[in-house]
Structure 1
Amino acid sequence: MRLTFRKKALLFIIPILIIVSVVYTYESIRMEKHIMRTEIIKRSEVITAFAGKTGELPILSGNPELLKRAISYLKTASDIVSVAFYDSRMEVLMKEGLLVSHKSLKISPDAPVTFFETDDRFDFYTPVFTVKSVEDIGIFQEDSGRHIKEHIGWVGIGFSKSTMKETERRIVLRDLMLAIIFSSASSILAYFLITIAVRPLMVLLNAVKRLKEGEYPEIKVESSSDEIGTLAAEFNRMTVAIKDRESRLIESEKKMHDLFERVEHAIFRLDKEGAIIETNRKFDELCGGANEFCGLFTSHMNGLRLQKAASAGIKNSEERIMDSAGNDLIVIMSVYPEFDEHGNITGFDGYFVDMTEKKRLEETLMQTQKLDSLGMLAGGIAHDFNNILTGVLGYASLSKSMVTEGDRLYKYIDTIEKSASRAASLAQQLLGFARKGKYFMTKMPINDLVKEVIAFLRETFDRSITIVVDTEENLPPIEGDSNQLYQAIMNLCINARDAMPEGGRLYIKTEFYLLHDEKVVDFFQIPPGEYIRVSVTDTGVGMPPEVKKKIFEPFYTTKGIGKGTGLGLAMVYGIIKNHGGHINVYSEPGLGTTVRLYLPKAEGEVEEKRRDTVMRERPKKGTVLLIDDEEVVRELGKDILEAYDYDVMLAVHGNEGVRIFNENKERIDLVILDMVMPEKGGRQTFKEIKSLKPDAKILICSGYGEEQYFYELFESGAAGFLQKPFQHTELLSKVEDAMAR
């Protein structure tokens, strides 16, 4: 094609023109510099030789004044920068300026002129001779009056290269300028001629550039008869096709990107070294600060994860990683390698699903189910145990009242009573763990309860433990059973004491706490609301995480054999949960432990404590109907009451009790009613007796109780509550109180 040929010709001609110009300029500069250098050296040699001729008298005389004049005269030449006169031994007589060190030079008096060159100067040396007349040299010489030349010294002159270099620079600049002008003029002329021919191609080239930048230009085809016209038409069709395809790709990419960002899986891409190069929104939320794949993992095996991904991939593997705040996350992760056409790994694609909350809920559910199952078991055991202990403790206390303190049997009975009381205390702990230990729910100030605990602690704790109390004044009341809450706080303090065998600091604090921050609510898993917070902090040994997870499990203890039942904290957990509260524990090994109780704030005013005695004359005797399915409880109650002049009727179950009451309702003054019985339970029996006689006095008796259950009975007129097991004095006191109402 003509245009292709012209273009090739242009590309061929312009370099040739430039090369010719460069070669010519180079040779011209080289020749001119050589000629100029030769002329400067010759001129310097002439000046140096002349100085050698004129230096005879100053050197012979050694007169400093003559030497200075000679130097001044020689330095009138513009290029001379230094002059020196030497004697024949090359010792300096007079000099001005610096010369090449003469001691390192190899010069001979036989050479007219010797010169040395450095980067910035020429140094010329010439010998100085004098002619002497010799007479009467000897009888053997034919001519006794001839003259001889004697070498008397040297003249050294330094010539600057500055003028030469400046001239060389002007030559180079001049010749380069001429070369540039020639090359530019030739190239411009060639370019001008070729541009006219290739203008249509330039239009097409500009269109291609605009297409590359994202535009979609259309070329106006002036003539379609040649190759350029055909190419322009095809380009227009290609532009339309690319525009349509790119629009579809953009739409598809937008959909994929939206899906990539919206999906709740954390998605990431890695290079072959494991560096994170792309992530989605969910990944940034969880691990925004991560930049290395291996840096995500918490275990020491993290370096093997990438090897595993490279060899076979990671598919639905449960892993532990760190989020951006440094917290552990449990995730299900999959990572797949990417390969090029040669089978080499180019990177990795992966995603993970945050399972932390699900795992936590599963563990919480399992723990709750386990505790509920154990709670049901513990509650049942405690109930039956209390029934058994009722006979032991009741008969022991009754027998004890029948003997004098000095009697030999008194000691035995007292030991039985104390052992039964300890067993009853253990049953109470089981009931607390089973969340069945709330009996009398009243509105009370928590500070009064804490003060009672502190008073006991100060009397019983070792003096090596400092007790500090910080109670917020005018706290709202809470609603609960004072005995149970007292026991819960006391257990926490005892555990704190046991954690400080060498002494330390026990800090108890009460405060009003408004919980509304969503992050705090989610972290502690405590519903938002208004709470009274009780904190018990010690400076003891603390707990590792694996121990902290198990502290509320029943029968789990870190104490030695015989030093703990493992029910203390389980009981605390049951009591607080049964009061609608929550527990949070913070502990680190060596830094101590803080247990925080969150008890819901109660509405209304503090209730006055119910008095155990009634300021009225108590009846001396009466008729009591005792309904209980346990024979030992029935016989014990009958023996105690009859010993104190009460008439007693017995019933084995609810149906029999209702029948006996219906037959003797005018005679019966009080009903003692067990709550858990076969055939008909205490709640139904209570309702039927009340339906027969609305003002009937009924004393509730049970080995455990339920909050809502007892509230209903007290609201319906229950005369009191008797906790199993009981001593004979407790039974008599409760009976007297109930009958006096």
Structure 2
Amino acid sequence: MRLTFRAKALFLMISILIFVSMVYTYEAIKTEKEISRKEIIKRSEVVTTLASKTVELPIISENAELLKKTAAFIRNSPDVAFVSFYDKKENLLIHEGSLFPERLPQLSSNFPLSFFEERDFFIFYAPVYTIRASEDIGIFQEDALKQTIDHIGWVRIGFSKAAIKEMENKIVARGVVLALIFTVSSSFIVYFLITIATRPLSVLSNAVRRIKEGDYTEIQIKPTGDEIGELAVEFNRMTSAIKDRESRIMESEKKIRDLFERVEHAIFRLDKDGNIIETNRKFDELCGGANRFCGLFSSDMEGLRLQKVLSAGGMKNLEERLMGKDGNELIVIMSVYPEFDEHGEVIGFDGYFVDITEKKRLEETLIQTQKLDSLGMLAGGIAHDFNNILTGVLGYASLLKSTVPETDKMYKYIDTIEKSASRAANLAQQLLGFARKGKYVMTKLSVNDLVKELASFLKETFDRSITIVVETEENLPPVEGDSNQLYQAIMNLCINARDAMPEGGRLYIKTEFYLLHDEKVVDYFQIPPGEYVRVSVTDTGVGMTADVKKKIFEPFYTTKGIGKGTGLGLAMVYGIIKNHGGYITVYSEPGLGTTVRLYLPKGDGTVEEKKGDKAMIDERPKKGTILLIDDEEVVRELGKDILEAYDYEVLLAIHGNEGVRVFNECKDKIDLVILDMVMPEKGGRQTFKEIRALKPDAKVLICTGYGEEQYFYELFEAGAVGFLQKPFQHTELLSKVEEAMAR
């Protein structure tokens, strides 16, 4: 901080005053302390000498009571801390006071007084003497009296330093107060004198300060004809010139500032060290009050890298990630340009960036959606072919099993083949679930009932170390969906949550009505506005990294060990929810657990009651003619063998064109058409339309290795009587045929 002339003069004079005051005070305090000390020591010597005289008789008479009274009397003297009496052999006779008596130091009885100083006491030692008289009888003279002086003991008296310390403290306090009074009063006098001397300079200094703040009022100083008066006149002329120039500059700056603030790019200026020195409105909206350029970035390493880039000459149109005002990450296109001085040295930087966060997220959402859709198409195609292969294995196994007694050794082998094929069919079903081609029976259902039923099952099957908490919102509107598929989707989420908590934890399942007013983008999932029933599954497990979270819905991707997961659970959830017109969001951080939220569109009306179980298959032989159209030979032969075993007449066609021809030839005879949907030359959809054109009331049972496609519902509305999912067991085929024939 720059000191004014008056401040410097004051500082110098006051410093001298303080120094003189301190020296004087120090010497005065030192002198008074020495005088006080000598007075106390002198008084202590007198007390000790008198005590040595007083204690003569009690020591000679060895009167302990008298010694004790004498000690108590001396102890009551001012500043006496303790009193001890010793005999000639330095044996303690009596002690009175605080400090416990100790062994006497080496003393000489020839000295009338000895003095020792300790931290808290002055200790005085004095010998005790007695004068003895004796008679000698002379023959030729009168009686003569002789006197002898004997050393009979010691007096030890301790005097407390408390009084001297108290006195010293008072001396110091008095000296300090007097010094302060002297210093303060002197300082005021010096201040007054210097202020009068420097007042004209203060007027000029205040005028300069006002100009700095934008006040160009002329200064008023009485004309003195000296240098200060001339300086005042020239100063007023300079003020007028600065005022005119400042007006022109402010007008120009206002135009530039208005443009600076209106631009929708975030603009900023940096000093050479990377400190932000100027920003526009858009920058403040996005990044708030950041004061360091590198502090904007989401990682220290990124900040250091960009610091090097700036040092190397700036950047142009680079994609970077910044920390936004609310802590969210921003994706921007940034350019920064160096500013040089006349010597070519970098003195700062000018830069701007454009926020492309929303655009980038929408792009990533589109890419992720297209990726999952592509994988879904691939998975669906694989599952379709897989189901066609499994149809023969599972169908013939079930048919063969029905003809073999359970006691037969072959029954066990056939049963194993059937179970293995069923497991493979379940795997294919999961692939179809991800591909959004699963088998769905759409009804208006209560998600609360579904969750409560699932929670009861989980509490019985999950480890007791996992606490399951269910929170359902009352009067939750229904959703339109397949209860079995949604049950499976939520269960898969709960199983994943369980596997994320191997040491136990808490599993929360929550349902609620959720009204979304504006479009919401979470990670890679875009949720449009609308009314939803939201199901949240939260665990307190290990959580996921951002890289893992990007891949969790891809089929066959799993973080579990070999043999502990197929990687289809969440892929199936994704397909099921998408097929219900719903959306999924995932929030997870390593060590903080995971929350998966399902957004299901709110349905209208009320919840439909569950229908009872289907009746058992009537094992009695059937009558009727069935046309089976399928391009897979094994499916045709399997269907023919099963149906003919139950006395149905079966006609076969290998593709759509042949199926239409056969139906046209025998339409009055055919009672039911079993129609595959995916065939060469002519697909099932076109074949259905042509068959219905030939006979509007023809009964058609749709059969496919895919799940139900969207256009299947059009076929149901057009008159299709049922749906048969490949692969199937012989009982499933017969049950579907029986239902279709009964319509």
TM-score (norm 1): 0.66
- 8 Å contact from structure 2 (residues 448, 472) kept in 1: yes
Q: 1:211-360 residue pairs with structure 2 within 5 A?
A: 211-214=241-244, 246=248, 253-301=253-301, 302-360=303-361
Give the match for residue 673 of structure 2: 671
Question: For the residues of structure 1 that align with 2:260 and 2:410, how far apart are their CA atoms?
Answer: 85
Q: 1:152-167 residue pairs with structure 2 within 5 A?
A: none
| 594-603 or 654-663, which deviates more | 654-663
Give how far 1:347 is off.
1.5
Give the match for residue 726 of structure 2: 724
Give how far 1:251 is off.
6.8
Secondary structure, counterpart of 1:671 in structure 2: strand
Q: Could you say if the C-alpha distance between residues 502 and 307 of structure 1 is closer, same or farther in structure 2, counting changes exceeding 3 Å? A: closer
Secondary structure, counterpart of 1:396 in structure 2: helix
| 256-265 or 558-567, which deviates more | 256-265
Question: For the residues of structure 2 that align with 1:643 and 1:519, how far apart are their CA atoms?
Answer: 57
Q: Could you say if the C-alpha distance between residues 577 and 473 of structure 1 is closer, same or farther in structure 2, counting changes exceeding 3 Å? A: same
Give the match for residue 640 of structure 2: 638
- 8 Å contact from structure 2 (residues 362, 524) kept in 1: no
Question: For the residues of structure 2 that align with 1:522 and 1:433, how far apart are their CA atoms?
Answer: 20
Q: Could you say if the C-alpha distance between residues 451 and 703 of structure 1 is closer, same or farther in structure 2, counting changes exceeding 3 Å? A: farther
Identify which of 701, 723, 738 aligns with 2:740.
Answer: 738
Whether 1:662 aligns to 2:664 is yes
Give how far 1:490 is off.
1.5
Give the match for residue 204 of structure 2: none
Give the match for residue 534 of structure 2: 533
Q: Could you say if the C-alpha distance between residues 706 and 485 of structure 1 is closer, same or farther in structure 2, counting changes exceeding 3 Å? A: same
Give the match for residue 226 of structure 1: none
Give how far 1:530 is off.
0.9
Give the match for residue 573 of structure 2: 572
Q: Encode CA deviations 1:598-640: one digit per residue, 9 max, x unaligned.
A: 1010122333446664799999321111111111111000000
Give the match for residue 467 of structure 1: 468
Give how far 1:188 is off.
7.5
Give how far 1:670 is off.
0.9
- 8 Å contact from structure 1 (residues 613, 737) kept in 2: no
Q: 1:65-464 residue pairs with structure 2 within 5 A?
A: 191=225, 209-214=239-244, 246=248, 253-301=253-301, 302-464=303-465
Give how far 1:396 is off.
0.5
- 8 Å contact from structure 2 (residues 525, 583) kept in 1: no
Give the match for residue 714 of structure 1: 716
- 8 Å contact from structure 1 (residues 614, 740) kept in 2: no
Q: Could you say if the C-alpha distance between residues 404 and 290 of structure 1 is closer, same or farther in structure 2, counting changes exceeding 3 Å? A: same
Give the match for residue 691 of structure 1: 693
Q: Encode CA deviations 1:683-736: one digit per residue, 9 max, x unaligned.
A: 111111112222211111111234531211111111111111100000000110
Question: For the residues of structure 2 that align with 1:590 and 1:694, how far apart are their CA atoms?
Answer: 62
Question: For the residues of structure 2 that align with 1:572 and 1:597, how far apart are their CA atoms?
Answer: 10
Secondary structure, counterpart of 1:341 in structure 2: coil
Give the match for residue 55 of structure 1: none
Give the match for residue 681 of structure 1: 683
Give how far 1:552 is off.
1.3
Give how far 1:658 is off.
1.4
- 8 Å contact from structure 1 (residues 653, 678) kept in 2: yes
Give how far 1:439 is off.
2.9
Structure exhibiting the larger radius of gyration computed from Cα positions: 1
Give how far 1:431 is off.
0.6
- 8 Å contact from structure 1 (residues 537, 593) kept in 2: yes
Q: Could you say if the C-alpha distance between residues 611 and 739 of structure 1 is closer, same or farther in structure 2, counting changes exceeding 3 Å? A: farther
- 8 Å contact from structure 1 (residues 432, 574) kept in 2: yes
Question: For the residues of structure 2 that align with 1:422 and 1:615, how far apart are their CA atoms?
Answer: 24
Give how far 1:667 is off.
1.3
Give how far 1:441 is off.
2.2
Amino acid at match of 1:353: V
Give how far 1:349 is off.
0.9
Q: Encode CA deviations 1:334-389: one digit per residue, 9 max, x unaligned.
A: 22221221223222111222233333233222222222221111110100111111
Give the match for residue 4 of structure 2: none
Q: Encode CA deviations 1:97-152: one digit per residue, 9 max, x unaligned.
A: xxxxxxxxxxxxxxxxxxxxxxxxxxxxxxxxxxxxxxxxxxxxxxxxxxxxxxxx
Q: Could you say if the C-alpha distance between residues 283 and 389 of structure 1 is closer, same or farther in structure 2, counting changes exceeding 3 Å? A: same
Give how far 1:413 is off.
0.5
Give the match for residue 563 of structure 2: 562
Give the match for residue 139 of structure 1: none
Q: Could you say if the C-alpha distance between residues 299 and 480 of structure 1 is closer, same or farther in structure 2, counting changes exceeding 3 Å? A: same
Secondary structure, counterpart of 1:525 in structure 2: strand
Question: For the residues of structure 2 that align with 1:319 and 1:433, how far apart are their CA atoms?
Answer: 35
Secondary structure, counterpart of 2:406 in structure 1: coil
Q: Encode CA deviations 1:207-259: one digit per residue, 9 max, x unaligned.
A: 764453349xxxxxxxxxxxxxxxxxxxxxxxxxx98xx4xx77765553333
Secondary structure, counterpart of 1:213 in structure 2: helix
Amino acid at match of 1:213: K
Secondary structure, counterpart of 1:676 in structure 2: coil
Give the match for residue 479 of structure 2: 478
Secondary structure, counterpart of 2:551 in structure 1: coil
Q: Could you say if the C-alpha distance between residues 401 and 355 of structure 1 is closer, same or farther in structure 2, counting changes exceeding 3 Å? A: same
Give the match for residue 13 of structure 1: none
> Any unmatched runs of 5+ in structure 2?
1-188, 200-220
Q: Could you say if the C-alpha distance between residues 607 and 658 of structure 1 is closer, same or farther in structure 2, counting changes exceeding 3 Å? A: farther
Q: 1:516-527 residue pairs with structure 2 within 5 A?
A: 516=517, 525-527=526-528
Whether 1:593 aligns to 2:611 is no
Question: For the residues of structure 2 that align with 1:648 and 1:698, how far apart are their CA atoms?
Answer: 14
Amino acid at match of 1:574: G
- 8 Å contact from structure 1 (residues 515, 521) kept in 2: no
Q: 1:604-615 residue pairs with structure 2 within 5 A?
A: 604-609=605-610, 613=614
| 474-483 or 564-573, which deviates more | 474-483
Question: For the residues of structure 2 that align with 1:205 and 1:563, how far apart are their CA atoms?
Answer: 89
Amino acid at match of 2:324: D
TM-align CA RMSD: 3.3
Question: For the residues of structure 2 that align with 1:619 and 1:694, how far apart are their CA atoms?
Answer: 28
Give how far 1:266 is off.
1.4
Question: For the residues of structure 2 that align with 1:523 and 1:636, how far apart are their CA atoms?
Answer: 45
- 8 Å contact from structure 2 (residues 383, 428) kept in 1: yes
Question: For the residues of structure 2 that align with 1:310 and 1:210, how far apart are their CA atoms?
Answer: 43
Give how far 1:398 is off.
0.3
Amino acid at match of 1:345: V
Secondary structure, counterpart of 2:257 in structure 1: helix
Q: Encode CA deviations 1:406-445: one digit per residue, 9 max, x unaligned.
A: 1111011000000000001100111111111153222222
Secondary structure, counterpart of 2:299 in structure 1: coil
Secondary structure, counterpart of 1:306 in structure 2: helix
Question: For the residues of structure 1 that align with 2:278 and 2:582, how far apart are their CA atoms?
Answer: 45
Secondary structure, counterpart of 1:428 in structure 2: helix
Give how far 1:465 is off.
2.4
Q: 1:28-43 residue pairs with structure 2 within 5 A?
A: none
- 8 Å contact from structure 2 (residues 269, 351) kept in 1: yes
Q: Could you say if the C-alpha distance between residues 518 and 627 of structure 1 is closer, same or farther in structure 2, counting changes exceeding 3 Å? A: closer
Amino acid at match of 1:691: A
| 609-618 or 414-423, which deviates more | 609-618
Give the match for residue 623 of structure 2: 621
Question: For the residues of structure 1 that align with 2:354 and 2:546, how far apart are their CA atoms?
Answer: 25
- 8 Å contact from structure 1 (residues 439, 706) kept in 2: yes
- 8 Å contact from structure 1 (residues 439, 710) kept in 2: no
TM-score (norm 2): 0.66
Question: For the residues of structure 2 that align with 1:529 and 1:468, how far apart are their CA atoms?
Answer: 28
- 8 Å contact from structure 1 (residues 438, 480) kept in 2: no
Number of residue pairs the alignment of both structures matches:
526
Q: Could you say if the C-alpha distance between residues 556 and 270 of structure 1 is closer, same or farther in structure 2, counting changes exceeding 3 Å? A: same
Question: For the residues of structure 2 that align with 1:677 and 1:523, how far apart are their CA atoms?
Answer: 36
* Percent identical: 79
Question: For the residues of structure 2 that align with 1:438 and 1:298, how far apart are their CA atoms?
Answer: 45
Give the match for residue 218 of structure 2: none
Secondary structure, counterpart of 1:549 in structure 2: helix
Give how far 1:519 is off.
7.0
Question: For the residues of structure 2 that align with 1:359 and 1:260, how far apart are their CA atoms?
Answer: 26
